[in-house]
Every structure is written in structure tokens, then in C-alpha cells.
Amino acid sequence: MPPKSKVHSLPAAVKQWLDDALVEGNFTGYETLEAELKQRGFDISKSSLHRYGQEFEERLNALKLATEQARAVVQASPDDDDAMNQALIRITQEKLFSLMLDLEIDPAEVDIAKITRSIADLARSSTDAKKYAREVREKARAAAEEVASTVKSAGLTDEAAEAIRAKILGIAS
């Protein structure tokens, strides 16, 4: 196994600066980055920076693609029965383990239960929001029906009652 990259051993603030500089520079200018790191007291070759930059860019592109695909899936198939969240939890668990292996992270150093709990909390929040939206739609529908019935009995035409009903439902949807 090759030795761990010097980039991964940089202090967090310096590594964050490097990551930001790579993104801002569109993953170019490795000689400049090498010189800047040297001024900051870190001796990392442009070749090493380039290898790290390529991996980082690939991961960033994969993340962007996954985000775009997830957005498209959610738009294409609304999920009131929470199947999407269940699938997301399973996929995330699998990807988390793969990521830990790829980055050579010792599973003993990561609180997987805490991460899984966070994912479950997010899924529960999404489910609760969907349930609340469904309840609001049902209440609006009931209110629209009641208003339509009341205005009809007060002598408004069916068309006027339907217009009021549609207006109420349009606000709620």
C-alpha cells in the first residue's frame, strides 16, 4: 500500500484553504499552490498536489452528479409512502462503508451509530414534513367543500361556489 498523501496530513485550516483554492482555480495552478504551501511551511510536490486534486475533483463531480440525480428522482416520483427515505438510508450506509475503506479510515475511529442516527433523523424529518403537508391539503379540501356548501345555501351560483372552492384549494396546493 502506498504511503498516505502529505495533503491528508495538513492541518484542517490549511487543507480547507487548499480545497477552496483547487475549486476556485478549477483544479489548475499546481505550481502556484506548491509555492504557496512552501511559504506556509509545507513541502508538498506539485505531482502530489495534482494526484490529490484529481481525486478531489472526481469526488466532487460524483457528488454533484449524485445530487442532480437525486433531485431528478424526487421530482419525477413524489414520495408520500417514504420508500425514498428507506432506500436513501440503505444506500448511504453502503456508501459510508465504501468511503471509509477508500479513505483508509479506521471504522473504530468513526461513530457509525451517530452517523446512522443522523440519517434516520433526516429521514424522519422528511416524513413528518410530508405528513404535515398532506394534513394541510386535506384540511384545505374540507374547508373548501364547507365554504362551497355554505355559499350555495346562501344563494350563490354553482359557478361562484366552485370559483371560491378552487381559489381556496389553489392557495393550499
The residue written with cell numbers 465504501 in the block is 98
Residue 107 is given by DSSP the state: G
Predicted local distance difference test score (pLDDT) of residue 18:
92
> Who wins on pLDDT, 149 or 26?
26
pTM above 0.85, yes or no: no
Considering only CA atoms, which of 137, 126, 131 is closest in space to residue 70?
A: 126
**Domain parsing of the chain, residue ranges:** 1-77, 78-173
Range name among 36-40, 122-126, 154-158, 168-172 with the lowest pLDDT average: 168-172
HSE of 1, CA atoms in CB hemisphere, 13 A = 7
Q: Is 49 exposed, middle or buried (0-12, 13-18, 19+ CB in 10 A)?
A: buried
Sequence-distant (6+) residues with CB within 8 A of 104 are 4
pLDDT at 156 over 90: no
Please state, as a whole number, how many other Cβ atoms lie within 10 Å of the Cβ of residue 121: 10
> Who wins on pLDDT, 102 or 63?
63
Q: Describe the crossing of helices 112-153 and 158-172 by its angle, rounded to 10 degrees.
A: 170
Please compute the mean of the pLDDT values over residues 95-119 and round it to a whole number. Answer: 68
Considering only CA atoms, which of 147, 148, 93 is closest in space to residue 120?
A: 93
pLDDT at 173 over 60: no
SS3 content of the chain, % helix, strand, coil (to 5): 80, 0, 20
Predicted local distance difference test score (pLDDT) of residue 172:
46
pLDDT in tens, 53-81: 998 888 888 878 777 776 676 666 665 55
pLDDT at 152 over 70: yes
pLDDT in tens, 4-28: 778 888 888 899 999 999 999 999 9
